[in-house]
C-alpha cells in the first residue's frame, strides 16, 4: 500500500490540470505525439572521383529464422555465438534491397531494380531522378529481388533504357522456365546487350565475374579519377554471417563452394586494396569496407570517406 500511494498521487497530478502551475500544464511532454514506427532514408549519395554513386532503398523487410538461410552448414550454437558476438539476434534479421544508380557525368546507369516497380521508382524519385532518365539498366543476376522492378502492370519501368547483363547468366535463365524471369526479362530480351567478365559497360564501369550465387552472377568495378568502388551485388548477403564466415553456406547460393570461393577472393582483394563496396543486401545505406579479422572479414560501414 505504501508503494501504491505515490503512484496514484503522480497520476492525479498529471491528469488534474486545475491544481498545476501554468508552466507544468503547458509542458510539451503532455502532448501525445503519434508513434511513427521505425524509419530511414530512401537514398544515399556519395562521390567517387567524377562519379556520383547513389544507393537506393527499394525495399526492406523482417525475415524470421535467419539460420534457415545463412550458416546452413553450422550448428545452432555456432550460429548463436557468432550472432551474439556481433550483437544481432538469431530469431529474425532485417533484409535490405538496394539497387545503385551511378551518374558517370555522361550516363545514368542503374544496377538492379528491386522487388517491384513501385519500390525502385519511389527510391529513384527520392534521390531526384525519374525512371525515364535512366540510360542503362545493368542486371547483376536474375533473382526476383533484382529483376522485379523491370516490368509492372504499366509495362516497362525504364522504357528508354538499354539493358546489359552477363551472357552466362542470361543463358541459364533463358532455359530455366522461371516464371519471374519470363514475366520480367523475357519481354525485353531483344534489347539486352550480353557481356562477359572484363567488359566495360561505360568508361570506368567494368564487369567482374563473381560466379556462385548464381551461375553467371556479376559484380562491377567502378573507377573514376583513381578512386575505386565495387558494386558487389550478392557476392555476400549478410554483413556478419557472410563476411566473418565466408564459408557458411547460404540457401540462395546456387553453387555453395563457388560462392564461398568468390566471397573470399573479392573480400581479400577489397580488404588488401582498401576498396569500399556496395552490397545489395548490406545494412542500409549498404556501403562499407571489408577488413581481415580472424579467419574471415569484418564489415565496417562507410562513414564520411566518400563525401570528401
Give the interface with Zn ion as residue ranges (CB under 5 A): 145, 234
Grid cell digits, residue 200: 566495360
Residue 79 per-residue DSSP state: H
Cβ proximity to Zn ion, 234 vs 253, nearer residue: 234
Dig out the grid coordinates for 130 from the structure. Answer: 525519374
CB of residue 280 vs Zn ion: minimum separation in angstroms?
A: 5
Shortest Cβ distance from residue 60 to Zn ion (Å)? 13
- Residue 196 C-beta: closest distance to Zn ion, Å: 21
Q: Which is nearer to Zn ion, 145 or 253 (CB)?
A: 145
Strands (E), 5-91: 43-48, 51-56, 59-64
Question: Residue 148 or residue 276: which is nearer to Zn ion going by CB?
Answer: 148
Q: How far is the CB of 225 from Zn ion (least distance, A)?
A: 30
| 3-class secondary structure, 93 | strand
145/156 with CB nearer Zn ion: 145
CB-CB neighbours of 136 under 10 Å: 20
* Least spacing, CB of residue 141 vs Zn ion, in Å: 8
CA distances from 250 to 168, 232, 242, 255, 263 (A): 21, 16, 8, 10, 12
Pair 79, 242: CB distance under 8 Å: no
3-class state of residue 152 by DSSP: strand
Q: Between residues 110 and 202, which has the closer beta carbon with respect to Zn ion? A: 110
198 burial class (0-12, 13-18, 19+ CB within 10 angstroms)?
A: exposed
Amino acid at each position: 500500500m505504501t508503494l501504491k500511494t505515490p503512484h496514484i498521487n503522480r497520476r492525479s497530478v498529471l491528469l488534474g490540470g486545475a491544481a498545476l502551475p501554468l508552466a507544468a500544464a503547458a509542458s510539451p511532454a503532455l502532448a501525445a505525439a503519434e508513434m511513427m514506427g521505425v524509419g530511414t532514408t530512401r537514398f544515399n549519395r556519395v562521390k567517387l572521383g567524377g562519379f556520383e554513386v547513389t544507393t537506393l532503398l527499394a525495399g526492406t523487410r523482417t525475415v524470421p529464422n535467419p539460420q534457415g538461410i545463412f550458416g546452413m552448414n553450422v550448428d545452432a550454437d555456432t550460429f548463436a555465438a557468432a550472432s551474439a558476438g556481433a550483437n544481432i539476434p538469431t530469431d529474425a534479421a532485417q533484409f535490405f534491397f538496394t539497387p545503385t544508380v551511378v551518374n558517370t557525368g555522361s550516363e545514368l546507369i542503374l544496377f538492379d531494380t528491386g522487388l517491384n516497380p513501385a519500390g525502385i521508382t519511389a527510391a529513384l524519385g527520392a534521390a531526384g531522378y525519374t525512371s525515364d532518365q535512366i540510360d542503362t539498366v545493368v542486371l547483376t543476376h536474375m533473382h526476383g529481388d533484382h529483376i522485379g522492378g523491370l516490368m509492372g502492370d504499366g509495362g516497362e519501368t525504364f522504357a528508354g533504357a538499354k539493358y546489359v547483363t552477363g551472357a552466362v547468366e542470361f543463358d541459364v535463365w533463358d532455359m530455366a522456365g522461371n516464371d519471374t524471369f519470363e514475366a520480367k526479362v523475357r519481354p525485353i530480351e531483344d534489347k539486352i546487350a550480353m557481356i562477359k567478365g572484363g567488359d566495360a559497360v561505360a568508361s570506368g564501369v567494368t564487369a567482374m565475374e563473381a560466379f556462385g550465387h548464381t551461375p553467371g552472377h556479376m559484380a562491377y568495378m567502378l573507377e573514376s579519377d583513381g578512386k575505386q568502388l565495387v558494386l558487389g551485388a550478392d557476392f555476400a548477403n549478410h554483413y556478419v554471417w557472410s563476411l566473418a564466415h565466408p564459408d557458411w553456406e547460404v540457401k540462395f547460393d546456387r553453387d555453395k563452394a563457388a560462392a564461398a570461393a568468390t566471397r573470399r577472393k573479392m573480400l581479400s582483394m577489397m580488404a588488401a586494396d582498401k576498396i569500399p563496396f556496395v552490397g545489395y543486401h548490406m545494412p542500409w545505406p549498404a556501403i562499407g569496407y571489408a577488413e581481415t579479422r580472424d579467419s574471415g572479414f569484418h564489415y565496417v560501414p562507410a562513414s564520411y570517406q566518400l563525401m570528401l
